[in-house]
Amino acid sequence: MDRLCGSGELGSKFWDSNLTVYTNTPDLTPCFQNSLLAWVPCIYLWAALPCYLFYLRHHRLGYIVLSCLSRLKTALGVLLWCISWVDLFYSFHGLVHGSSPAPVFFITPLLVGITMLLATLLIQYERLRGVRSSGVLIIFWLLCVICAIIPFRSKILLALAEGKILDPFRFTTFYIYFALVLCAFILSCFQEKPPLFSPENLDTNPCPEASAGFFSRLSFWWFTKLAILGYRRPLEDSDLWSLSEEDCSHKVVQRLLEAWQKQQTQASGPQTAALEPKIAGEDEVLLKARPKTKKPSFLRALVRTFTSSLLMGACFKLIQDLLSFINPQLLSILIRFISDPTAPTWWGFLLAGLMFVSSTMQTLILHQHYHCIFVMALRIRTAIIGVIYRKALTITNSVKREYTVGEMVNLMSVDAQRFMDVSPFINLLWSAPLQVILAIYFLWQILGPSALAGVAVIVLLIPLNGAVSMKMKTYQVQQMKFKDSRIKLMSEILNGIKVLKLYAWEPTFLEQVEGIRQSELQLLRKGAYLQAISTFIWVCTPFMVTLITLGVYVCVDKNNVLDAEKAFVSLSLFNILKIPLNLLPQLISGMTQTSVSLKRIQDFLNQDELDPQCVERKTISPGRAITIHNGTFSWSKDLPPTLHSLNIQIPKGALVAVVGPVGCGKSSLVSALLGEMEKLEGAVSVKGSVAYVPQQAWIQNCTLQENVLFGQPMNPKRYQQALETCALLADLDVLPGGDQTEIGEKGINLSGGQRQRVSLARAVYSDANIFLLDDPLSAVDSHVAKHIFDQVIGPEGVLAGKTRVLVTHGISFLPQTDFIIVLADGQITEMGHYSELLQHDGSFANFLRNYAPDENQEANEGVLQHANEEVLLLEDTLSTHTDLTDTEPAIYEVRKQFMREMSSLSSEGEGQNRPVLKRYTSSLEKEVPATQTKETGALIKEEIAETGNVKLSVYWDYAKSVGLCTTLFICLLYAGQNAVAIGANVWLSAWTNDVEEHGQQNNTSVRLGVYATLGILQGLLVMLSAFTMVVGAIQAARLLHTALLHNQIRAPQSFFDTTPSGRILNRFSKDIYVIDEVLAPTILMLFNSFYTSISTIVVIVASTPLFCVVVLPLAVFYGFVQRFYVATSRQLKRLESVSRSPIFSHFSETVTGTSVIRAYGRVQDFKVLSDAKVDSNQKTTYPYIASNRWLGVHVEFVGNCVVLFSALFAVIGRNSLNPGLVGLSVSYALQVTLSLNWMIRTLSDLESNIIAVERVKEYSKTETEAPWVLESNRAPEGWPRSGVVEFRNYSVRYRPGLELVLKNLTLHVQGGEKVGIVGRTGAGKSSMTLCLFRILEAAEGEIFIDGLNVAHIGLHDLRSQLTIIPQDPILFSGTLRMNLDPFGRYSDEDIWRTLELSHLSAFVSSQPTGLDFQCSEGGDNLR
């Protein structure tokens, strides 16, 4: 370098220590300034160029119009290029005229000139690629300014010293250059306008991150506006920003799906090759001998999808890791500076400044790393939810039996969340070894081979921790199984809660849930104890490493003196070592849990899917709509065939009836036509679009209109026709919101007949080519069935001319069909027209003989009622006899109005004819105006997010659940632990200040012994506090779950009718998971960071009392940041919780209706709907992630100021401080940044997670029914003996404030009488039944059964002695015996007698397990 500067005006020296270091007025040599210093910005830009060009090439954001700002930037770039060339030409001019300029005067202007030209071209290229704020160029201009400041000062000092300017031309050009680069830097901080056609121009509320400048992005300043808004008032959904395109579900899920499909293709490659010869006739045995192919790896698919984010995060982490080792080196120099009274004072100030700059750079880069990783984690969760949802739409029926809805919800909620939780720790896999290696290297420099003693401790502890983690993994797998079982059982309980209440079966199911929960908590306790041991190991590891390393160092050689530099630089290096070692348990625990989740998700994604090619959709015989050739079908490949050797040809436009006895395979035939069954042999062809009406109507939780339209655009004429023909117009008048009435989950606020007619209207509106109708008339009364057949299905109905396949038991409709298919035992026994089949005395004739008596009776009833058909249609419309829950007050009110109208019309003597009906409708429309419709149309209440501070009562509730003594004991243990830690470090400080005698320190063994004792005591306190927390946390988890479970089981039926099951399940899954596994570690981390922060302030103030001056302003700033952050993040977390429930509710609904969704071809629409719900959840999660980064940058700024001032005051008070105290003070300050950040983070996390307790408590305090048993007033044994029922002046209302449903009812029924209850709709027939079971409680009056007032005994004493046959059969997963006799009260003989009476004994006897036959959820394996 000296040669470049030559021997002329610059002199030949590149570096001069006397000029730069050992002086009170430091400066750099002119050679250094004109060479390396001027080249630094150029080297940076050329080094960054390849990567930046690659980024720009792959990220086109649009085109920015040439603006004044862009023109100014370009002009400055050109001017700087000109200045550089002027300098170069001046050097050539000097060379021509005899002076010999140094080579650097040619090289530097040339390099700078080319770099300025490159920067100018980059400005324009960025504009063309849509870059509004360039971080690369901002850093370049900043480096130019910084590198020019030193020559700026030097030239002025030189001119003042010499009294004249030695080189006026270069002096002038330099200051012009400085002014231009300063202007270029300032202009680069301003942003360009958005690109043309940018999404930001269309978005009403875009995320400000996209348009933020470089420094705003670096410091997360763009989030400040939302933080202020959240502080001023609770945030609402409308305040949240829209998602960027790359974060949206449809993009992210598609990327993962493509990667997963590649994995599947690679895994099935050999298998496909093996199957090809089979077609040519190769023996099947040869194929079986082939080795199994490997399963596709979901982990590889994830890595390939998110590689770029992983690499970006890894780059930031690498830079941050390297920067973290700068401060210990600066501390080493600072201690040497304090020890040397002759050192220039500016050294100390420079060191303090460098420490601050280094810490600030660490902060900025670390949070860029975290932002990158957390956004990636959010995308991973989104992608996993999307992939699971899409898989659930395609799984076969056999897989559906294996995976219940609860288990699939768990995959989406708990397992997907685990991937999100572990993502921030992923980089520790390589970062932790790197930090350990670097720390050991620097320790070797200080302590020599003694550092290896510490390494040995780390290596020895790895297998111990490995054994602990393996055991934890085992517990985790078992615990997840119990969790799945518990959620599955809770899902079944919620689905069948009405049956449980009517049969008084709650205790046995309560016992089952509590049994599973007990097993789950036992495993949780074992796992938590192992976690506590793991924490103890890793908390003690850094101390043990320090102790053993320093102990070995002072013991191996008496001449090894432990001074302040060695002790505290080693300590700061060990503190760096402590971070990855402390995070390793979380990484191991997270990786353990995630590996379990990965396997579960991978297993689910590898399950069999329905074959889309099972049914041929394109080619078919001319004139045919449906053909089956030699078709054999089964519900699962491992089950025997359900349908055998079917040969069917259905012409276009035909009406075909499918009849046969129960269980012969009629519904299975429809499922086979839909492609829902496994096709073992044959060919199926269905030409045209399909509409499907299942036997049990599938109704969505949305408005009635949306249920009918089912995603199709509104056609008013067709819509009106569908409602009219399906007899739904009267329903619209009765329902509180008309066709905008929200239908509850599973159609809870509609009767069975209404649900079926809505399902039929959906099919009619679809205007499909083929209609598959699976016994749609069974759920409606005979007169309504006749109306629907005539108006919809029959030859004169709206579907005339369409191909219709009707599964039915209604004989009266069969003569009007084109032909009939008769099934028996899964085979077609007869097929032909009604008249043809009558002539044969075959299975059709048997079918007629079995069903004719009922049919004739129904037909006679139909004749008698024909005159009243319109009113009877209304009766069916208004009736809820199928659902013994008249829970909706608005419906009740409208019914009351309707009955009054009918009564008045009858009294006027107008009769029950069409004009009267019209009059009724119009008057009702007047009674229910549109404004009321909006208020009463919604059945399901929106889940409301709490606002403001989490109430102290919530913390108090959790503290009481943990145990107040336990809580206090944990606080004291942590205080003791930190006091001991301070004592150990103060002792170390005093040790380093021990006077040396003959190059040795005395009392080394005493010093070492006390230091070891204090360290061991600290470790014991850590373990004791962790164990105490485990005991308290498990107790709290048990108590909170028990309270929630008992309250929900005892909640009234009306609560379940108006609350989606997904919302309740969310409490039992996600919120209980938080209480079980998240709250306790969060509280421990809060205690840890709080006490560490307090310890740091105490130590620094004790060491340098002057620090008190800055404590107050820093504390005020810290407090402001904390208040802004906590208010905002808390509300974001609440909004996130509320937006999460709809994802799972929608998923549960989708899984139950997959066959309908597939039949109508709406799979894609439902994917979009699910993605929209996930995106809505992401909209709340993304700002929450950003809020943590915003907090981190601002709080760590406070920590960096603590480092700056502790070093600064140490420099100022250097004469009164010893090196030991300075080392202690600054080494503590270097830790405080992390502690301050974690204190707010964990405080906020605690507040965010304690919301789980708030939500669980909310549902633990809902209104409950009367007590199950009143010990003071039990029913007599054997009651009721005769069954005398008496109502005395009995009145009842649905809810307080509503009109009475039954008014002053008095009646007496003798024992053994068979009583029919009749009356118009709304008269209170169903209500009477509900009152007997005390589902509704009396407003006044009494009910007596055998002389006993039912209100005076417990609900179970009453309900267990009454029985009811509900309309909708509910079966629970478990044995058949459990479903019949959950309490185990009856003998096998009693159960078999019941089965015989129910005509089920033949079926049960045919099962190998008999009464222990396992029923699947909902009884799906019983048909």
List the alpha helices (DSSP H) in 908-1003: 914-927, 930-936, 952-962, 964-992
Q: Alpha-carbon dihedral of residues 436, 441, 442, 447, nearest 10 degrees?
A: 110
Q: Per the structure block, which two tokens stand in for 141?
A: 């201009």
**DSSP codes of every residue in 687-733:** -S-EEEE-SS----SSBHHHHHHTTSPP-HHHHHHHHHHTT-HHHHH
d(CA 826, CA 820) in angstroms, rounded, equals: 15
Q: Per the structure block, which two tokens stand in for 1403?
A: 């079926």
Cβ atoms of 1067 and 1259 within 8 Å: the answer is: yes
Supply φ then ψ for residue 1315, to 5 degrees.
-120, 130
Q: If DSSP codes are grouped into helix, strand and coil, which group holds residue 247? A: helix
List the alpha helices (DSSP H) in 59-188: 68-96, 104-129, 135-162, 168-188
Residue 151 identity (one-letter amino acid) = P
Supply φ then ψ for residue 1000, to 5 degrees.
-130, 160
Q: Sign of the C-alpha dihedral, residues 697, 702, 706, 711?
A: negative
Residues 6+ apart with CB under 8 A from 708: 719, 722, 723, 728, 739, 758, 761, 762, 765
Looking up tokens 């779950």 gives 1041
Element (H, E) at 1014: helix 1004-1050
Q: What's the burial of 625, exposed, middle or buried (CB within 10 Å: 0-12/13-18/19+)? A: buried
Q: If DSSP codes are grouped into helix, strand and coil, which group holds residue 116? A: helix
- Look at the pTM and tell me if it is higher than 0.85: no
Q: Alpha-carbon dihedral of residues 1074, 1075, 1077, 1079, nearest 10 degrees?
A: 90
What is the CB-side half-sphere exposure of residue 1249 using CA atoms within 13 A?
20
d(CA 64, CA 70) in angstroms, rounded, equals: 10
Q: How far is Cα of residue 1319 from the mean position of the Cα atoms in its chain? A: 51
Q: Per the structure block, which two tokens stand in for 851?
A: 């069903």
Supply φ then ψ for residue 532, to 5 degrees.
-65, -40
Q: If DSSP codes are grouped into helix, strand and coil, which group holds residue 692? A: strand
Q: If DSSP codes are grouped into helix, strand and coil, which group holds residue 791? A: helix
Query: Residues in the chain, how many?
Result: 1423
- CA neighbor of 1142 nearest in space, from 950, 946, 940: 940
d(CA 1206, CA 1226) in angstroms, rounded, equals: 6
Residue 832 identity (one-letter amino acid) = G
Q: How far is CA 485 from CA 179, 525, 605, 1071, in A?
A: 72, 18, 20, 17
Looking up tokens 């002009």 gives 75
SS (H, E, C) 432-461: HHHHHHHHHHHHHHHHHHHHHHHHHHHHHH
Query: Which residues in the chain come in under a pLDDT of 70?
Result: 1-4, 6-12, 14, 18, 98, 196-203, 269-293, 538, 582, 585, 849-949, 994-1003, 1295-1296, 1320-1323, 1367-1368, 1417-1423
- CA neighbor of 1284 nearest in space, from 1327, 1337, 1332, 1326: 1332
d(CA 1150, CA 1146) in angstroms, rounded, equals: 6
- CA neighbor of 349 nearest in space, from 330, 324, 363: 330
End-to-end CA distance of the chain: 91
d(CA 1015, CA 74) in angstroms, rounded, equals: 63
d(CA 724, CA 383) in angstroms, rounded, equals: 43
Whether omega before 1280 lies within 30 degrees of 0, making that bond cis, reads: yes
pLDDT of residue 1237: 74
Q: How far is Cα of residue 496 from the mean position of the Cα atoms in its chain? A: 27
List, for residues 1318-1372, the tens digit of each pLDDT value.
775 556 777 788 788 887 888 888 888 888 888 888 888 888 888 887 766 777 7
- CA neighbor of 695 nearest in space, from 600, 810, 573, 779: 779
d(CA 595, CA 589) in angstroms, rounded, equals: 10
Cβ atoms of 364 and 1193 within 8 Å: the answer is: yes
**197 φψ region: left (φ > 0), alpha (ψ -120 to 50), beta (else):** left
- CA neighbor of 615 nearest in space, from 633, 635, 642: 633
Cβ atoms of 1211 and 356 within 8 Å: the answer is: no
- CA neighbor of 1191 nearest in space, from 1243, 1140, 1138, 1250: 1243
Strand partners, 395: 609
d(CA 893, CA 1322) in angstroms, rounded, equals: 9
Cβ atoms of 939 and 888 within 8 Å: the answer is: yes
d(CA 814, CA 808) in angstroms, rounded, equals: 9
Cβ atoms of 820 and 832 within 8 Å: the answer is: yes
Element (H, E) at 819: strand 819-824
d(CA 72, CA 75) in angstroms, rounded, equals: 5
Cβ atoms of 992 and 564 within 8 Å: the answer is: yes
Cβ atoms of 799 and 654 within 8 Å: the answer is: no
d(CA 1353, CA 1280) in angstroms, rounded, equals: 13
**DSSP codes of every residue in 325-393:** THHHHHHHHHHHHHH-TTS-HHHHHHHHHHHHHHHHHHHHHHHHHHHHHHHHHHHHHHHHHHHHHHHHT
